[in-house]
Amino acid sequence: MSNRLLSALRHPVLARWLGLVSLSLLTACQPTDTAPAESEAASAQPLRLWYDQPAEVWTEALPLGNGRLGAMVFGGVDREVLQLNEDTVWAGGPQNNVKPSLRPHLEKISELVLANRHEEAQAYADEHIKSHHDGMPYQTVGNLVVDPQHPAQADDYRRTLDIGQALAQVRYQVDGVIYQRETFAALSAPVIVTRLSASEAGQLDLDLGFNSPMDHSVSVDKQRLRVEGQGADHEGVEGQVRFTALINPVLEGGTLESTDKGLRIRGADSVTLYTAIASNFVRYDDVSADPAARAQQQLADGLRRSYEEIRSAHIAAYRDQFDRVSLDLGPAPAEDQPTDQRLANFREQNDSHLAALYFQFGRYLLISSSQPGTQPANLQGIWNDQLTPPWDSKYTLNINAEMNYWPAESTNLSELHEPLFGMLKDLSVTGQESARELYDAEGWMVHHNTDIWRITGQVDGAYMWGQWLGGAAWLSQHIGYRYHHTGDRDFLAEHYPILRDAARFYASRLTEDPDTGWWVLVPSNSPENDYLHRDDDVQAAVDAGVTMDNQLVFDLFSLVMEASEVLGRDPEFAAELETLRDQLPPMQIGQHGQLQEWLQDWDSPEDKHRHISHLYGLHPSNQISPYRTPELFSAVRTSMEMRGDESTGWSMGWKVGIWARLQDGNRAYKLLTDQIKLVTEDDAQFEAGGTYANMFAAHPPYQIDGNFGLTAGIAEMLVQSHDGAVHLLPALPDAWPDGEVKGLVTRGGFVIDMVWREGEASELSVHSRLGGPLRLRVHSDLEPVNSVTLRDVAEGEHNGNPLMQTPTIKAPIIHRPDKVAPVRLEPSQLLQLDTEKGETYRFRR
C-alpha cells in the first residue's frame, strides 16, 4: 500500500468509516452518563418534507449529507439528477492573502480616525486597503444523471425527505408499475447510496451519465463511471485541488454495458448506485494526497457491505445524534399538505408543527454538513451547484460562520462543533502572518472572511466590512460555549493557546483614544454598517472603538482570565488582561434611548440595517441582562424597534434570538412568521428573507445560517442559561400554549426535558451530566418529585456553579435618561438545588 494511501486512510473521516460504525464511536464526545430520556427523544410526530412533483430548480431539490459528501436530489421522473459536493473541492490552492505593504496605510488610517477626520480616513482606506485577492470559492463536483427509459407522465408521485432517518425517497407509477428510489449520504460508510427498484421484475432500464461545469473528464472504468476533475483558478491563484468521483452500479438481474456517454442498464430488477468522491486535499497547506486511491478505497469500503447493512448502520448512526432532542408544539393537521404549500400558508394556518419541523430541519442540516473530521459548514453548509456561488460560499466571520454553530451545544450536538475548532486551530497559525505583517502585533488575527486555505487578510477592501478586526475574538467565544456546556477541562486546555494568542493580538493592538482616554481597536468597522451620510457620495464606516469590538474584546479577555484560573496558567498575563479590560469603553445609551453602535451618538431611527452587531452584548453574549443591567436591556429593545423586523434570513434568525433574550415570545414568533414564508428564486427580494420550497433559508439567495439561526432561536424561546440560571419558557409565544421538549442542553451540563400546559411548565426533568448547583428561573410553581431540597434564592445571589457565572461590566453612560424606557418582565422566582453527577431530578406543578 502506498504511503499516500496510508496517509489518506489516517484521515479522521475515512478512518471512521473503515468498519461498521459503532454508537460508542459516534458518541465519543458525549458523556456516558446521560439519562435514558436523552436517547429516547425521537418525536412521534412525522418529521418529513414531502412534495407532489419533482424539483424544477435547485432550491426545490432535497439536501443529503454526511458532513463530507453532499447531494441535492431532484426526484425527476424522466431524468433524475443528484447534484454532488465534496467539502474540500474549492478553487485555488495553499496561500494566504496577506499584503504586508498595507501596514503603513493602516497606520495612516488610524491616525486620521483618532483625529476625528473620518471622511478622509474612509477615502484613504477605500483607495489603499486591498489584499492580493478576496478568497477562493467553494465549488461543485457536478451532476450524476439517471435517465429512466420510460415516459415522463407518472401517477401517484411523491417525493420525501425523512429527516427522522436522513433518507430521501421518490415514488411514482408508470403504466401500472410502481418505481421507487431511495438515496442517503451514509454516516456509516464514505459513500452516497441510491437504490432504484420497481414493483415488477425486469422493469428498470436506465442510462447513467455525469456532467459538471468544472474542468473534468468522464470515462468508464471496470463498469463504473469515473470522473476526474480539478478546482478552478481564481483571482490569480492556481487551482490545485484534484478530485475523483466513482459511481458503481450493483444490479439484481438485467445487463450492464458501457456507452460513449456512460453506462446503460437494461431489464434490471433493482439497481444500487454507490458514489465515492475524494480529493487531494490534506489540510490548508497540503494538497499531496492521491484522490483516485482515496476514492477507490472509499468505494471498496461501501461495496463490501450490502445495501441493507449500510442503510441500517446509517440510520442508527444518524438517529444517535438526531434523536437526542425532540420538540412537540402541537398537532400536525396540515401534514397532508405538501411542504411548499405549508410554507405558503404558515402565517394563516398557525402551523405549530411546521415550526417544530423547521427547528429539527436545522439540526438535520448541521448533522448533514458538519461531522468530526470534516470541514466546517460554510455559507451554504455543504451544498452548492456553482463555480462561483454567492459570496463564494466562504466563511463570513462577522456573524454567519458563528451562527452556523449556535445550535451545536444547546440542541445536544456538541461533537458537531469540532470542525469549527479545527478551523480555529488552522487560523491561529495562518493568522500570525496578518497580525505580524499588517499590525506589527503579537498573537493571531483574522478579518471578516476566510476560506479552506485559511486566509486572514482583508477581503473586499476596507469599506463597511473588510477592515473589521473582531474575527478572532468572536470565533474564540465558541471555545467558551463548548466548555461552559460540557465542563471539559481537557478540551479547554487543548484550545487554551488559541484563546491566549488571540488575546495577545488585541492586547498589543489596543490604542488610547485621545478624546476619552479609553483603549480602543482601530481601524475597524461595525459590521457591515456605516455611520456618516452627507450625500450619495460621502459615507464613512471605518472607525475606532465600535461597540461590538469593545464587547468582543471584553468577552475574550474574560474567557482567557477564566481559563487561566481553571488551568493554572499564565497568571501574569491574566492580570494584564484584567487591567486592559477595565480600560475598555463602557456601553452607551444614546439620544433615542438606544444602545449606541459607535462611540459617537450616530445611530439613526431610519437605519434598518440587517446587522445588529452592537447588540452582541445581549445575544449571543451575556453582558446585558434585565436583572443586572436593566437600562442596557431597555436600550437593546429600543434599538430593535428602530431596526425593524423583516430583513435577510440570517438576520431574522438573529433577531428571533434577540427577542427571545428580551423575553418577548410573541415578537420572536412574529419574526418566525416573517422567515417561514415561501419564496421562489423568481420572487425573492434582497433583504426580505423567507424560505425556499426545500426549506433552505433565503438571504436571499440561499444561506444556511438562516436555518441554523432559527433553530437556535427557537431553543432560546424555550430554555436559556446565559444569565446565571436555567430559565424555563423565557419567551413562550401565545401560539404555543401546550408543548413538550426533550434533550436541550444548558450551561453547567444540564439536560432539560419539559412539558408545558396553558403557557406554564407542568413537568420538568433535569439530568445533571456534571453535578453541581442547579439554579432555575421559573414562572410557575414547581415541586420536586424526588426527595431533594429546593430553596428560594434572592435576585443577585451568587451562583456557586463555575460554569454559569455572569460578567460584571462597567456602568453604562446614559446621555438621555428620560429616553430610557422602563423594563417590564413577567414575574419569576429563582430556585436552587445541589445535584449529583449522573442523577436526574423531576418536578411537577
Q: Can you tell me the distance from the alpha carbon of 120 to that of 116, in angstroms, rounded to the nearest whole number? A: 9
> Does 647 or 73 have the greater pLDDT score?
73
The answer to pTM > 0.85 is: yes
Q: Which residues pair with 742 in a beta bridge?
A: 326, 753
Q: Can you tell me the distance from the alpha carbon of 751 to that of 572, in angstroms, rounded to the nearest whole number? A: 37
Strand-strand pairing, 263-268 and 204-211:
antiparallel
Instruction: Answer yes or no: is pLDDT of 204 > 50.
Output: yes
607 band by pLDDT with thresholds 50, 70 and 90:
confident
Query: So what's the pLDDT on residue 152?
Result: 78
Q: Can you tell me the distance from the alpha carbon of 158 to that of 718, in angstroms, rounded to the nearest whole number? A: 34
pLDDT tens-digit series, residues 34-47: 333 333 334 457 89
Q: Which residues pair with 777 in a beta bridge?
A: 727, 830
DSSP code string of 778-826: ESS--EESSS---EEE-TTPPP--GGG-----PPPEES-GGG-PPP---
Closest CA to 653 of 618, 611, 624: 611
> Does 1 or 590 have the greater pLDDT score?
590
pLDDT tens-digit series, residues 323-344: 999 999 998 888 899 999 999 9
pLDDT tens-digit series, residues 82-91: 999 999 999 9
488 band by pLDDT with thresholds 50, 70 and 90:
very high
Instruction: Answer yes or no: is pLDDT of 407 > 90.
Output: yes
Query: So what's the pLDDT on residue 684?
Result: 61
- Average pLDDT for 77-106: 98
Instruction: Answer yes or no: is pLDDT of 153 > 70.
Output: yes
Q: Can you tell me the distance from the alpha carbon of 806 to that of 725, in angstroms, rounded to the nearest whole number? A: 10
- Average pLDDT for 792-812: 95
30 band by pLDDT with thresholds 50, 70 and 90:
very low
Query: So what's the pLDDT on residue 36?
Result: 33
